[in-house]
A and B are shown apart, each in its own frame.
Chain A
Amino acid sequence: MTGRHVLLIEDEPNIIEAIRFLLTREGWKVDSHTHGGDAIEVVQRIKPDLLILDVMLPGKSGMDILQELRALPEYANLPVLMLTARGQMRDRDMAERAGVSRFMTKPFSNIEVLDAVRDLLTQTSRS
């Protein structure tokens, strides 16, 4: 499970730093990107094992990115952990319809995030 690759798309530098700190300590490789507009291309270039996606992003919203990714066959099963600071019921529903693997509301606890990432990575390494 170690050595796996996580891509974080999030526009808040401090949150990036926190998540990077947490995941790197667990032995995962973390790349980040702060803009939504070209997120799909970044995913295609980096080919991560797991994608962590913010909802409110400049350029293109996390919801749209997720929908477009799921439309591509090679990313139909990519584990996606979505983070939102809005915390509205509707967002969760939309994300679920769009095919999110896990949905989390900010502020989260670090343990929650680690558990979720570990879970999602375990699932893919098994399948």
Chain B
Amino acid sequence: MMASFNLLVAVCLGYVAILFAVAFLADRIAATGRGRWLRSPLIYTLSLSIYCTAWTFYGAVGYAVRSGLEFVTIYLGPTIVMIGWWWGLRKLVRVGRSQRVTSIADLLSSRYGKSNTLAICVTLLAVIGITPYIALQLQSITLSFTTFSEADPSRGWSDVSSGLWVAGGLAIFAILFGTRNLDANERHHGVVTAIALEAVVKLVALLAVGIFVVWGLAGGVSETMARIDASPIGEWNVDPGRWSAITFLAAAAFVCLPRMFQVMVVEIDNERHLHTAAWAFPLYVFLMSLFVVPIAAIGLELLPEGTNPDLFVLTLPLSQGREDLAMLSFLGGFSSATSMVIVASMALSTMLSNHIVMPIWLSWTGSGASVSGDVRSVVLLARRVSIVVVLALGYFYYMLSGGGAGLAAIGLISFAGVAQMLPPLVGGLYWRGATRSGALAGLAVGAGLWLYTLLLPGLGGFLPEAVLQQGPFGLSWLRPHALFGITGLDPMTHAVMWSMALNTLVFVVVSLISLPDPVERLQGAQFVDVFEHSTGLRGWTGYVAQSEDLLVMAQRILGASDAQALFQREAKRQGARGTLPEPTPDFLQRLERNLAGSVGAAAAHAMIAQIVGGSSVSVEDLLAVADESAQMLEYSSQLEAKSAELSRTARQLREANEMLTRLSEQKDAFLGQVSHELRTPMTSIRAFSEILRDTEDLTPAETTRYAAIIHDEALRLTRLLDDLLDLNVLESGQVSLNMRSGVLAQVLEHALSAALAGAARKMIVHRRPETENIPLHSDLDRLAQVFINLISNALKYCDTEPPELTIRVQSQGGKVSVDFIDNGSGLTEEAQTLAFEKFYRVSGEKAGGAGLGLAICREIMQRLDGDVTYLPGQGGGAFRVTLPIRDDVKVA
């Protein structure tokens, strides 16, 4: 009885339908919040089994036929990683979860200062490395189809079209279940459950074939062992170099492969699953490899010479007339290939869309998510297109390579490619000093060497024969398989050794000589010390944001209901009224992580920065300006004299900004003003220092004049900062009042002499000394400050020549009022209401004060239990200061 090819296709489609149903149901159950088993450690462990692809399902037997027990290294590496989870995986998973990373590219980008350049490099490396691997899976599926169709000649069969059908079908599955939702956690219960089912199928299939071979064909364990020893692979013959190199590679790839990272770190529900997976996954791969050698040895014995050993798992049962077993085995191989391709394409599409498509889209649409269309649908579309692109690449690679034996080596080559991510990954998790430049340089060197010594020679035809034999340009020490004259090594060992060693070396050296930027340093600490502060402190300190803008953006990315729910929760947590939370650093950080789950860390950071950072001066802005100023100083000797002053200004700016941050929550508009006041003198400073730096033919007079402008503007900044600091001290109530007893006349005397000394205008002052002999108990210095301010204002703004000032003192009911009346035109009605607001200035007046003087006066007087008000109807500008009299003080 021959299974008809039609039956096979029907079984296949039925199986896929079951997978669909399982994935669909799991998604439904997960959405309702039920189904704890979906998040069980068992499902987690089974999902890890996508490590075992068709390459290992079918290929392990072929591998064993060619190289004996060497195949087992592919499983030994991951076994060591898994049982040693306490060393590495535990930290990786914790970091992955606390930072909400979506892929390995995202993790590395996030660690190294949210660098998208790094993410792009990792993504490209992954695509280059994984595409051939996907081609390998397509090949194995079509090959297994072919094996059956050869047995059933009634049916026409074409490898090419079947490859296309398979690729298309896999794309549809991956799109349907990998991109249904844009979850902040990037978890896909449907897909994970389906691949867990597939894991069971492939294990059962391989065990069934193995048991059939050992007990059905060979006649027991000892018989089997004897027949193995008698077979062509009966002796230990493994190259020690390859044994260690491949074990290492498999361990590295197990962590770095995008699909493994997806199931191991992104999809994990609970860190405790690692306890179970630590023994269950090694057990799984143990069982997967248990019968490989017996199948290989018996296959060699029973099957005709020239049978493809890669398909023994299929052809051995077929040759014994066990169609049912062959069918099961076929399903096992089919499961291995499909689960790998689905998860790999999903993982790669996440990376492609988050790190390449979205940044390009965001920069095209200009000002980002706050004004543009629906980001959510764009992300999903980008992922879907990326899945199709990844599978299309795999398909074309399969077509181009002709599906020959060259593909068989691709698995390991692919491993070696992704293993290049290991140094930056490990360095990033354990070494704070690792920098972005180091990671990029190491990756570039490692990936370059991998391309040159392994991938290109392995593809055949890409490198001319002459280069392989004599090296490029006849430089023999650059031969791809014998770098620096080290010959005699197996090409794989050679490539792994050089690429990993130089990758690590360059990574470490460049990290040591380069400086990380602040974000990088912060992230480095977060990653390395993840167990000390899992909740994190990376943040948005020092920004003012519009919560509404943030909500608008979040809705577009997370979806309206999710975003609103998130904001409401946050508002509740803050104890705020209404539905909008205050944009505290804490909240911004959580929001950023949520967004990062959808669009990646770098993009999320950029989006929030666009909204949050745009609204006021930030520490970084100011530092950048200060940095630039510092650099300009180095260029121009004229400016050197101002250096100390400028750097002091910059320091004060920073201090002022920190103080502003505290005020900012209620004082949006205030900050806008401060920004304006700080930026205006900065503009002049920057413009003229650039002129001094860039213009060669300035006359000495011009040089002096421009340096003087810079000087004046720096002074203006200083004054502004002094005033701001003063105001802050007063407003925060931290001021300590120096209460003393004294007489009003003395305070006025002191104030007048201070205000009028060195003034450009002369002012006539009318006083009645007999009224001023009033005892006070107050902070006399502060009081004098208020008087000085009022007198200076009169001096500055009185528009009559010559200016006259009348000081009138009245005491009444325990209070004394001191009026300052000038003979100018006074304040307009509008100005009267605004005069005490911060930054208010009489229009047209510029270079003088910052418009804080009266605001400060009012603060001082209120501290002293008095007040200062404008007094209308006095025929000129008039201010009244009131303060309590202390009547028990007798004046001498």
Contact = CB atoms under 8 A, between A and B. Distances in A.
Interface of A: 11-15, 17-19, 21-22, 25, 35, 56, 58-59, 85-89, 92-93, 105-111
A89 B691 contact: no
B664 to A, nearest CB: 13
B690 interface: yes
A106 B615 contact: no
Query: Which DSSP category, helix, strand, loop or mixed, fits chain B's interface?
Result: helix
A59 B377 CA distance: 46
B648 to A, nearest CB: 18
B472 to A, nearest CB: 42
Interface in B699-741: 709, 712-713
B85 interface: no
A15 B676 contact: no
B874 interface: no
A55 to B, nearest CB: 9
A118 to B, nearest CB: 16
Nearest to B673: A86
B672 A21 contact: no
B675 interface: yes
A102 B677 CA distance: 22
Contacts of A21: 691
B676 A18 contact: no
B769 interface: no
Interface core residue of A21, A56, A88, A107 (most chain B CB under 10 Å): A107
B599 to A, nearest CB: 19
Please give me the 10 A-B residue pairs with the lowest Cβ-Cβ distance, nearest first: A18-B687, A85-B679, A14-B684, A106-B683, A107-B686, A107-B683, A89-B614, A85-B676, A58-B843, A107-B682
Interface string B448-461: 00000000000000
Contacts of B46: none
B615 A88 contact: yes
B687 A107 contact: yes
B688 A18 contact: yes
Contacts of B370: 89
B549 interface: yes
B3 interface: no
A85 B680 contact: yes
A17 B691 CA distance: 11
A17 B709 contact: yes
17 contacts: A12-B680, A12-B683, A12-B846, A14-B713, A18-B683, A35-B844, A85-B679, A85-B680, A85-B683, A86-B676, A87-B615, A89-B611, A93-B371, A106-B679, A107-B679, A107-B683, A111-B690
B382 to A, nearest CB: 25
B846 A11 contact: yes
Contacts of B687: 15, 18-19, 22, 107-108, 110
Contacts of B690: 109-111
B686 A109 contact: yes
B479 to A, nearest CB: 49
A108 B686 CA distance: 8
B623 to A, nearest CB: 14
Interface core residue of B370, B675, B712 (most chain A CB under 10 Å): B675
A72 B259 CA distance: 61
